[in-house]
Structure 1
Amino acid sequence: MSILRRRDKQPQPEGLERGERVLASAALADGGVLAVTTYRLVVDGEQPERCPWHLVDGGGWRPERDEIWASFVDGREPGSWVLPDPGPVTDAFRERVQASVVLTEHVGVDRRDKARVVLRKDLATGALSVQTIYSEGADPDRPELKEQVDDALARLAEHVGLER
């Protein structure tokens, strides 16, 4: 018998892109698979999802529910998936979201009217994009907030040499 034990093979999702690798994966309670890949969050199951990391706003692990959740910046509904044995998925998830964040600036007029201006990188192509995420209840048309967002956009673009 070998001293080294062979690790169980990670479950693999369907339809990966050319060059995309699975960094961590786990079986879902519904029988599907959730995979953290080099380029995206991939879920094959009852709540399927395929989302590039630069469009994942945030997320995390809820240990009391054995659940990983994600929110998105492109208007899609937040998702959550039950993982009875998450293994390294939770750490890989956090690392991939953070890997897509280049710079962030928080701006705000008061407690209600706030926003995050985030420069993100598409991990598949390397392309940079700017996202503005307003706090719940914020008025994006408020002149003072709009001015602060525009100033933050200019600063972030200047940091990385993006033309506006």
Structure 2
Amino acid sequence: MRWPRRQHPPPAPQDLDHGERVIAAAPLDDGGTITVTTHRLIVDGPESVRCPWHLIDSGGYRPDRDELWASFVDERPRQTWRISAPAQVPDAFRERVQASVVLVERVDIDRATSARVVLRKDLSDGALSVQVLYKDGADPDHPELRAGVADSVTRLAEHVGREL
């Protein structure tokens, strides 16, 4: 029986912030590296990424394709990375995104008009922010939706005991 070769973890990124730690890392199939830190997702390779966890809307790992994907809250396009030997990266990725979510409330007017109001925490400094994520095609200026979002923000602020 032949033992598998032990793979050494990729080197840690050189630009870590004060107090930031590497949780998991893996080599990408394209020769780059993906690193999950306490504060952000770091991808070094053809398309570099430095993204704090509170700006990642969702993501996950597809083992049948060896792909980790992420969609972002800001204007960044959805991205996918191929990782044949992911180690703990998928679990750490999921845990960090979830750790940044404090509270979520849905505002549903009808099937086409809805939004998610999300209270997120910046994991580097603990600062809270509100994100309003509209369903594709929903009009943010729809009067009922706008009122529902405002009510939701008020409720979230009450839950955490501060103005948002």
Instruction: Give the TM-score normalised by the residue count of structure 2.
Output: 0.93
Deviation at 1:109, TM superposition (A): 0.4
Counterpart in the other structure of 1:124: 124
Counterpart in the other structure of 2:147: 147
Question: Over aligned residues, Cα RMSD in angstroms?
Answer: 1.1
Instruction: Give the TM-score normalised by the residue count of structure 1.
Output: 0.93
Please give the alpha-carbon distance, in whole angstroms, between the structure 1 residues aligned to 2:102 and 2:92. Answer: 18
Structural mapping, 1:71-110, within 5 Å: 71-110=71-110
Counterpart in the other structure of 1:157: 157
Counterpart in the other structure of 1:53: 53
Q: Following superposition, which runs of at least 4 residues in structure 1 exceed 4 angstroms of deviation?
A: none
Deviation at 1:13, TM superposition (A): 2.5
Q: Is the 1:13–1:33 contact (alpha carbons within 8 Å) kept by the matching residues of 2? A: no
Identity, % of aligned positions: 61
Are positions 1:36 and 2:48 aligned together?
Answer: no
Deviation at 1:8, TM superposition (A): 4.7
Q: Is the 1:10–1:26 contact (alpha carbons within 8 Å) kept by the matching residues of 2? A: yes
* Structure 2 unaligned residues grouped into runs of 5+: 1-5
SS in 2 for 1:138: coil
Counterpart of 2:131 in structure 1: which amino acid?
Q
Deviation at 1:47, TM superposition (A): 1.7
* Structure 1 unaligned residues grouped into runs of 5+: 1-6
Deviations 1:1-35 (A, max 9, x none): xxxxxx75421223111211110010001111101
How many residue pairs end up in the alignment?
Answer: 158
Please give the alpha-carbon distance, in whole angstroms, between the structure 2 residues aligned to 1:14 and 1:80. Answer: 23
Q: Is the 1:14–1:44 contact (alpha carbons within 8 Å) kept by the matching residues of 2? A: no
Please give the alpha-carbon distance, in whole angstroms, between the structure 2 residues aligned to 1:40 and 1:83. Answer: 18
